[in-house]
Structure 1
Amino acid sequence: MKAKIGQITLKCADRQKSASFWSLILNGAPVGTDGESPWITAEGPLRMAFEDVADGEAITRLGLDVDVDYLELAVVRAVRLGASPVGPIDRGGPDAFQLMRDPEGFPFRFVSRSAGD
């Protein structure tokens, strides 16, 4: 039996705002809807969906890495779209990365697999 991840769902205070932000971060992928929940399909096999956080519901966090060719440019672009960097770029390992928070505070990392940016 084969198993694969078919979708990542982010719980959000403003699902449309989050979908728009991630659509732009992931190369302007189109935003669609399944009933009420917006979703995006980025390059690659995964789809991201966005749902409202119910009152009193704890937000489950997930580590999301976004591979980029140019780390600094990705950070500047994300900041213009409402994201915030957390600390400096980490170049201490084989991959350079920058920890970020999207406009709703969801943590993610931009990663340069070549570490040569």
Structure 2
Amino acid sequence: MIGHIDAVVVDCADPAALVRFWSGVLGGQPRVRSDDWAYVDPPGSTRLAFQRVPEAKTGKNRLHLDIDVRDLEVATLAAEALGAHRVGEVQRDVAGAFQVMLDPEGNEWCLALAQP
């Protein structure tokens, strides 16, 4: 082993706004260190950090977060109330169901409901 994950870092235009959004999704206290860097330490999870970059997002993410939820529709509505947008319909397969979402800067992520 070389090391362990210290944080997942998201490039963005507005770190303070995104950390507030994601702390609403995951819990934890949003921390804004500067105009260029913010983070949240969700309870029981890895730090999620946001760093300002000059370029805009282009194309689809090569990495995304799957957020485990108990009720897909309730979680989707709560995420939308925070500023997320759903993409398409709920997808279902043998592993369960998921709803693709976009955060306020257009980063893809999923709400996931595992099969019992």
In the superposition, the TM-score normalised over structure 2's length comes to 0.85
User: CA deviation digits over 1:51-106, x for unaligned, max 9?
Assistant: 11224786883221111111111100011111111111112232210000011100
Is the partner of 1:19 in helix, strand or coil? helix
Q: Is the alpha carbon distance of 1:38 and 1:64 closer, same or farther for their aligned partners in structure 2, counting shifts above 3 Å?
A: same
Residue 105 of structure 2 is aligned to residue 111 of structure 1? no
Match of 1:4 in 2: 4
Gaps of 5+ in 1: none
Letter in 1 for 2:29: P
Residue 24 of structure 2 is aligned to residue 24 of structure 1? yes
Q: Is the alpha carbon distance of 1:26 and 1:93 closer, same or farther for their aligned partners in structure 2, counting shifts above 3 Å?
A: same
Match of 2:41 in 1: 41
% identity of equivalent residues? 32
Is the partner of 1:42 in helix, strand or coil? coil
User: CA deviation digits over 1:9-29, x for unaligned, max 9?
Assistant: 1111111111100000113x1
Q: Is the alpha carbon distance of 1:56 and 1:26 closer, same or farther for their aligned partners in structure 2, counting shifts above 3 Å?
A: closer
Gaps of 5+ in 2: none
Letter in 1 for 2:68: D
